[in-house]
Amino acid sequence: MSSPATSSDREKVVSKLPGWLRQNLKVRAAQHGLDIQTAVEQGVAAWCGLASALEPVDTSGADSFATFLPQGQWDEFKQTAKDRGVSLIQGLAQSVVLWLDTHHAPDIVRPAVTRRIVVCNQKGGVGKTAIAAGTGEAMAEDPNRLHPVRVAKQLVAALRAVDQDGTPAAEDSDPMDVENLPGLGMRVLLVDFDPQCHLTNQLGGTPVPMNGDSLTNHMAGDPKGDLRDLILSIDDEHFDGRLHLLPGCNDAFLLDVRLSAVRAREAALERALAPLEADYDVIIIDCPPSLGLSMDAAAYYGRRRDAEGPGQSGALIVVQAEDSSADAYELLTTQIEDLRGDLALEIDYLGIVVNLYDGRRGYIATSSLQGWVDIKDPRVVGLVGDLKEQKEAVRMKQPLLSYAPKSQQAVSMRALAREIS
C-alpha cells in the first residue's frame, strides 16, 4: 500500500519486513553513510531489473515497515512481483537481501602507524582514567552494531551550554543530536601507567604483583619476561576481543628514580611498547598525575613520527571546569613545550576534555567552561557530565559503554572518540 508523502517526488510505502532483515538494513546503510530509503530504493530498482526472482527469503515474524520511494517505483515493483508470482512482502525482502549482498560491510580503515594517545594532566581527580577507558571502549566498539553517538555540526556551539547571561542553559536546549552509528572497530590497548592502578581496578583486572614483571621493569631495562604475557583481554561482546589492557603495578611509584639511571630515558616507554604496536590500531596511555620523568616518557611516546600526519597521536588533556585545573594545565603544557624545544619534537595536542561537568554548580562551572572553550588551541574536543553511570560502572568493575551503553556519558565518549579520530 502507499500514501502521499510530504515530498512531491516521493510516495510513502508501507509493507512488512522481518526484524532481523530490518536491523541488518539499518546497520549496513549506516556503514555506507546512506539513509534507509535510499538503500531500499536501490534494492528495489535492482530487483525489478533482474531476469528472474531470487531464492525465497524467510519472512516469518515480519512487521510493519515504511519508507519513501520515487513516484512510480512502487507501481513498477508491484507489477514485477505479480509477474513473478511473489507477494509484496517477499519481493521487498528479496530486494533488501539483494542490496545487502551487493553492498558488503566496508573494511575498517586502519592507521598506517599505530596511534598513541596520551591522556594526561598533572592534577589528580579530574577523571583521566574514566576518559582513557571510555575513549578506548568507544574506539573498540562493534562496527556491525549501531550505537548512540552525540554529534554536532559545531562542537563549540554545543559546549557553550550556557545562556548569554552566564546561567546554565535549560536542560532541553541541547544543540546536539543523537545519531545511531556503527562502532569504530579499532584494536585498542589501554595502558595503565599510573601506580595507583585505577584503570586496572575499574576494568576488573588485577594489578601486577610487585615481585613480578611489569611495564616499569621493561622501561628500566630490566624485563623479566614478554610484556605480551601481562596483557588482559576485556572480554565483552561489545568489543569482541578488540579491547585489551596492560595492567598497572605499584612499582611505578619508583619509575622516576629508576629512569634517572637509564640512557635516553625519554624513549623508555617507546622502547617497551614498540614490540606491541603491530597488534593494535590505537594505544592509549592513562598517565599518573605527575610532571616527572615518567610524564616526559609519555609525552615523547605521543610525539608525531615521520610517517604520521598532524593530530594522529599526541596529548589529550583532561580538565574540570574549576580554577585548579587551569593551574595544572599551565604546568603540563609548559613541560610539553620544554620537551618540544629541548628535543626538537612535534608533540600534538589532540584537545581538551572538560570532564565531570555540572552546569548546576553555577558561575564557577559555566565561566570556567567558557574559559576552556576560549583557548582555541588546543580546542575543547569533549564535554562529559558528572553523572551516576560512570561511578556505577566503576563499582561494578565493568566498562562504561557496556554497563550503560545509552547513558549520556557513553554517548559523549563516542563523540569524543570520533572528534579525535
Shared domain for 173 and 304, answered yes or no, is yes
Q: What integer pLDDT is reported at residue 170 of this predicted model?
A: 36
The verdict on residue 249 lying in a domain is yes
CATH number at residue 40: 1.10.1220
Q: Among 89-93, 129-133, 157-161, 346-350, which stretch is predicted with the lowest mean pLDDT?
A: 157-161
pLDDT digits (tens, 9 = 90+) for 257-269: 999 989 999 999 9
The verdict on residue 108 lying in a domain is no
Smallest CA-to-CA distance from 285 within 210, 275, 296 is with 296
Q: What's the mean pLDDT in 199-206?
A: 96
Identity of residue 339: L
Q: What integer pLDDT is reported at residue 160 of this predicted model?
A: 52
Q: What's the mean pLDDT in 197-202?
A: 96
Q: What integer pLDDT is reported at residue 322 of this predicted model?
A: 84
Please check the confidence at residue 406 and state whether its pLDDT lies above 90.
yes
Identity of residue 369: L
Q: What integer pLDDT is reported at residue 5 of this predicted model?
A: 45
Percentage above 70 pLDDT, the chain: 92
Shared domain for 92 and 224, answered yes or no, is no
Is the CB of residue 316 less than 8 Å from the CB of residue 348? Answer: no
Shared domain for 48 and 167, answered yes or no, is no
Query: What are phi and psi for residue 146, nearest 5 degrees?
Result: -95, 140
pLDDT digits (tens, 9 = 90+) for 77-119: 999 999 999 999 999 999 999 999 999 999 999 999 999 999 9
Query: What are phi and psi for residue 283, nearest 5 degrees?
Result: -120, 125
Question: 3-class DSSP state for residue 372?
Answer: helix
Shared domain for 217 and 239, answered yes or no, is yes
Q: What integer pLDDT is reported at residue 47 of this predicted model?
A: 97
Cα torsion angle, 195, 201, 205, 210, sign: positive
- A 10 A CB-CB count for 1 gives 10
- A 10 A CB-CB count for 171 gives 9
Please check the confidence at residue 168 and state whether its pLDDT lies above 80.
no
Percentage above 90 pLDDT, the chain: 77
The C-alpha R_g of the chain, in whole angstroms, comes to 25
Shared domain for 87 and 221, answered yes or no, is no
Shared domain for 153 and 44, answered yes or no, is no
Q: What integer pLDDT is reported at residue 9 of this predicted model?
A: 81
Quick one: cell of 300?
615523547
Cα separation, 385 vs 365, whole angstroms = 12
Identify the DSSP state of 306.
T
Shared domain for 141 and 92, answered yes or no, is no
Cα separation, 16 vs 402, whole angstroms = 31
Q: What's the mean pLDDT in 358-379?
A: 87
Q: What's the mean pLDDT in 171-191?
A: 80
Q: What integer pLDDT is reported at residue 176 of this predicted model?
A: 57
Question: Torsion angle, CA of 380/386/388/392, rounded to 10 degrees?
Answer: 60
Shared domain for 20 and 142, answered yes or no, is no
The verdict on residue 109 lying in a domain is no
Question: 3-class DSSP state for residue 321?
Answer: coil
Please check the confidence at residue 178 and state whether its pLDDT lies above 60.
yes
- Residues 406-420 as b/e (b if ≥16 CB within 10 A, e otherwise) read ebbbbbbbbbbbbbb
* Average pLDDT along the chain: 90
Q: What's the mean pLDDT in 24-47?
A: 96
Is the CB of residue 409 less than 8 Å from the CB of residue 385? Answer: yes
Where is pLDDT greater, at 358 or 47? 47
CA distances from 73 to 6, 79, 97, 361, 409 (A): 17, 10, 18, 56, 43
pLDDT band at 237; cut points 50, 70, 90: confident
Q: What integer pLDDT is reported at residue 71 of this predicted model?
A: 93
Instruction: Calculate ∠ Cα 14-19-24, nearest 5°.
Output: 100
The verdict on residue 190 lying in a domain is yes
Number of structural domains (the chain) is: 2
Cα separation, 31 vs 393, whole angstroms = 29
Structural domain range at position 15:
2-102
The verdict on residue 110 lying in a domain is no
Cα separation, 376 vs 332, whole angstroms = 17
Shared domain for 12 and 73, answered yes or no, is yes
Cα separation, 308 vs 336, whole angstroms = 19
Strand-pair partners of 316: 119, 351
Q: What integer pLDDT is reported at residue 7 of this predicted model?
A: 53
Smallest CA-to-CA distance from 352 within 338, 364, 369, 336 is with 369
Q: What's the mean pLDDT in 302-322?
A: 94
Instruction: Calculate ∠ Cα 63-67-72, nearest 5°.
Output: 120
Please check the confidence at residue 131 and state whether its pLDDT lies above 90.
yes
DSSP string, 94-163: HHHHHHHHHSPPPPP---SS-EEEEEE-SSTTS-HHHHHHHHHHHHHS-TTSEEEEEE-SSHHHHH--B-
pLDDT digits (tens, 9 = 90+) for 269-306: 999 999 999 999 999 999 999 889 999 999 999 999 99
Please check the confidence at residue 163 and state whether its pLDDT lies above 60.
no
The verdict on residue 107 lying in a domain is no
Q: What integer pLDDT is reported at residue 421 of this predicted model?
A: 87
Domain boundary among 102, 131, 154: 102
CATH number at residue 298: 3.40.50.300
Domain boundary among 49, 70, 102: 102
Domain boundary among 76, 102, 128: 102
Shared domain for 49 and 125, answered yes or no, is no
Shared domain for 286 and 174, answered yes or no, is yes
The verdict on residue 228 lying in a domain is yes
Shared domain for 89 and 119, answered yes or no, is no
Please check the confidence at residue 166 and state whether its pLDDT lies above 50.
no
Quick one: cell of 343?
628535543
Q: Among 6-15, 274-283, 315-324, which stretch is predicted with the lowest mean pLDDT?
A: 6-15
